[in-house]
Amino acid sequence: MSRASLHALYRRPGFMIRRAHQIAVSVFLEETAELGVTSTQYGILYLLERRPSIDQITVARLLGLDRSTTGMVLKTLEEGGLVCRVVEPTDRRRRTLELSQAGRDLLNELATPAGRAVERLLAPFAPAERAQFLALLERLTDAFNATSRVPLLADTGADLAHEGNFSNRESMLRRPGRSGPSKMPGKVAPPARARAKD
């Protein structure tokens, strides 16, 4: 008995986008493995360098993360000495987030491997195709932003949206069983349950 072709399934946009995401995750983790940082952690460090003194809810909205994931990842970064909370002098109930010097140093170390991840991911395309590919992805995500589980808050800072193609090199998962020590000061890799969502 002949098997039916799966071509129609493999050509579904959702299937291909999921596969592309899996590939992007793998490429990012391979390039940044020595530093022991997840892409979501990287995204928060990147954001706080460019938008200091914002609160946890704003972090979640600017990165399109749910609040529970944001809280868990920030807890890991705080415990690693990379991010600190600051009590607002005018409202002691409000706490904003800042990068520590260790966080800034780690972000600087990540710049080169994160850049390599972008180059590897876009390597199959010619330069003109890269621009077209990213423009089409942007059109798709903009068109359906409001229907997503966590809509992305519009940001007027051009550097956040476009600098280094940040939105296209980010991924949401951590590969289990990563070898090598964590570079977070005084920390081991977070528990498996946390790694699955950070």
| Partners of residue 99 on adjacent β-strands | 83
Please give the radius of gyration of the chain, using alpha carbons only, rounded to the nearest integer. Answer: 18
Per-domain residue ranges for the chain? 12-195
Q: Residue 110: which pLDDT band, with cuts at 50, 70 and 90?
A: very high
- Which of 20-24, 113-117, 157-161, 190-194 comes out lowest in average pLDDT? 190-194
In the chain, the DSSP E strands lie at: 83-88, 91-99
Q: What is the DSSP letter of 51?
A: S
Predicted confidence (pLDDT) per residue in 146-179, tens digit: 999 999 987 755 444 333 333 333 333 333 333 3
- CA-to-CA distance for 63 and 59, rounded, in angstroms? 6
- Confidence (pTM): 0.74
CATH number of 12-195: 1.10.10.10
